[in-house]
């Protein structure tokens, strides 16, 4: 990959300045958080998320957070993800339908960065996550920003039953589909699609595309997402990631399930099974196309990496399918018709 050989300063510049400036009506709704409230969020992150919800690469939470990778990860959870969501995801969603006054069901809220970014725009947000420690952080974060959000600790496959009869303008799976088992994913996609009213929007954000040759999410290995689960389990010993390397050596029910939840990617095939043929879905836009159209740096990065060439190669196999299904991640807004 050519961008891997770019000088560190250039790579840092691309990360920091590649997001287009959000429209004024979105920037005007950004909320501030005072120092004391931010400190409470930071403490909640350390106590709940980093101490309970994640594996800290075999280290204690204190050791991990003292190391360079841990400090970077912590800062990303504290501020970075919110900045990214404000600059990219929220303007993209708002272009499909103004978020002000919209009813939003966010599935996979995590520690609440996207929850804040969406709710501060005036949306009425119901946020769901399977991990209670993460939800505790999200609650504290929303409290610090003065936002009223309804939270539930729930498996995504249960949302159809839990929210039966409720109306939502957006149902958003945020970095969550890839962490489900095959059965859970199909059940969650099917029930949420069926509960969505005509004209409303079903969205997926940051789901690694199983068809992509590079796995930047789970193993950081080439072609990893293409491998059968059993082979990928054993081949994961070559991953450069500390929390994957050497973790999956012996098959067991617990180890196999943990491996699947690490993330095996998603592709248009699940949409065909759970919703309807992907070529017949009304895809409004993909986030990557949205960003490339508004930032020359996003367009340049795609050209340098050769991503657009591989996207075109995949699209030849499904010329009637929206090109967003052939990009590195599935970031799609789909309107129900």
Q: How confident is the model at residue 246 (pLDDT cuts 50, 70, 90)?
A: confident
User: What are the backbone dihedrals phi and psi of residue 253, each rounded to the nearest 5 degrees, phi first?
Assistant: -60, -40
- Kindly state whether residue 219 falls inside one of the protein's structural domains: yes
* CATH number of the CATH domain containing 93: 3.40.50.150
Q: Rounded to an integer, what distance in angstroms lies between the CA atom of residue 15 and that of residue 207?
A: 20
Asked if 287 and 92 count as a contact pair (C-beta separation under 8 A), the reply is yes
What is the per-residue pLDDT for 175? 94
If asked whether residues 149 and 179 sit together in one domain, one would say yes
Is residue 140's pLDDT more than 80?
yes
Query: Structurally, how many domains does the chain consist of?
Result: 2
Angstrom distance (rounded) from CA 330 to CA 315: 14
Q: Tell me, yes or no, whether 129 lies in a domain.
A: yes
> How much of the chain, in percent, has pLDDT values that exceed 90?
76
Can you give the pTM of this predicted structure?
0.91
User: Given this model, what pLDDT does residue 303 score?
Assistant: 65
pLDDT (tens digit, 9 = 90+) per residue, 46-103?
999 998 756 655 678 888 888 888 899 999 999 999 999 999 999 999 999 999 999 9
**Percent of the chain topping pLDDT 70:** 89
**By residue range, what is the domain housing residue 125?**
24-207+266-285
If asked whether residues 256 and 275 sit together in one domain, one would say no
224 in the same domain as 108: no
Residues 104 and 147 in one domain: yes
Beta strands in 161-231 (DSSP E): 170-174, 201-208
| First CA to last CA distance, the chain | 40
Listed residue (129, 213, 199, 119) closest to 167, CA to CA: 199
pLDDT digits (tens, 9 = 90+) for 95-130: 999 999 999 999 999 999 999 999 999 999 999 999
Is the pLDDT score of 11 beyond 70? no
Q: Are residues 187 and 232 in the same domain?
A: no
How far apart (Å, rounded) are the C-alpha atoms in residues 324 and 269?
14
Mean pLDDT of the chain: 90
Residue 60 and residue 104 in one domain: yes
Is the pLDDT at 17 greater than 80, yes or no?
no
Look at residues 93, 131, 89 and name the one whose alpha carbon lies nearest to residue 110: 131
118 and 166 housed in the same domain: yes
**Residues 34 and 182 both lie in one domain:** yes
Q: What is the dihedral of CA 200, 205, 210, 211, to 10 degrees?
A: 80
The pLDDT assigned to 3 comes to 44
Q: Which two tokens stand for residue 88?
A: 């990219």
Spatial CA neighbour of 320 closest among 266, 276, 280: 280
Residue 150 resides in a domain: yes
**95 lies in the same domain as 76:** yes
181-185, 238-242, 291-295 — which is least confidently predicted?
291-295
Token output for 204: 């997926």
pLDDT score recorded for residue 248 = 87
Question: What does the pLDDT read at residue 290?
Answer: 92
């Amino acid at each position: 990959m050519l961008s891997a050989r770019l000088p560190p300063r250039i790579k840092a510049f691309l990360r920091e300045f590649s997001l287009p400036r959000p429209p004024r009506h979105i920037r005007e709704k950004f909320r501030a958080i005072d120092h004391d409230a931010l400190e409470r969020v930071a403490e909640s992150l350390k106590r709940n998320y980093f101490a309970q919800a994640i594996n800290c690469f075999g280290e204690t939470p204190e050791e991990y957070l003292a190391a360079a990778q841990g400090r970077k990860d912590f800062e990303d959870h504290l501020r970075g993800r919110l900045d990214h969501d404000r600059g990219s995801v929220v303007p993209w969603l708002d272009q499909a339908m103004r978020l002000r006054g919209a009813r939003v069901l966010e599935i996979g809220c995590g520690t609440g960065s996207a929850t804040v970014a969406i709710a501060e725009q005036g949306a009425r947000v119901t946020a769901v996550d399977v991990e209670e420690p993460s939800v505790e952080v999200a609650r504290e974060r929303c409290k610090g920003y003065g936002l009223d959000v309804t939270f539930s600790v729930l498996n995504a496959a249960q949302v159809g039953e839990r929210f039966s009869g409720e109306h939502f303008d957006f149902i958003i799976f945020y970095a969550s589909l890839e962490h489900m088992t095959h059965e859970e994913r199909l059940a969650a996609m099917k029930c949420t699609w069926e509960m969505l009213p005509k004209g409303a929007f079903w969205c997926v954000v940051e789901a690694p595309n199983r068809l992509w040759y590079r796995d930047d999410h789970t193993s950081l290995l080439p072609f990893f997402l293409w491998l059968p689960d059993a082979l990928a389990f054993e081949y994961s010993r070559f991953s450069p990631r500390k929390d994957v390397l050497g973790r999956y050596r012996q098959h067991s029910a617990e180890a196999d399930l943990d491996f699947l939840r690490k993330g095996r990617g998603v592709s248009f095939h699940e949409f065909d099974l759970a919703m309807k043929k992907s070529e017949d879905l009304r895809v409004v836009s993909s986030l990557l196309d949205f960003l490339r159209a508004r930032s020359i740096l996003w367009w340049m990065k795609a050209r340098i990496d050769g991503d657009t060439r591989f996207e075109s190669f995949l699209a030849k196999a499904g010329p009637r399918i929206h090109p967003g299904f052939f990009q590195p991640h599935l970031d799609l807004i789909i309107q129900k018709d």
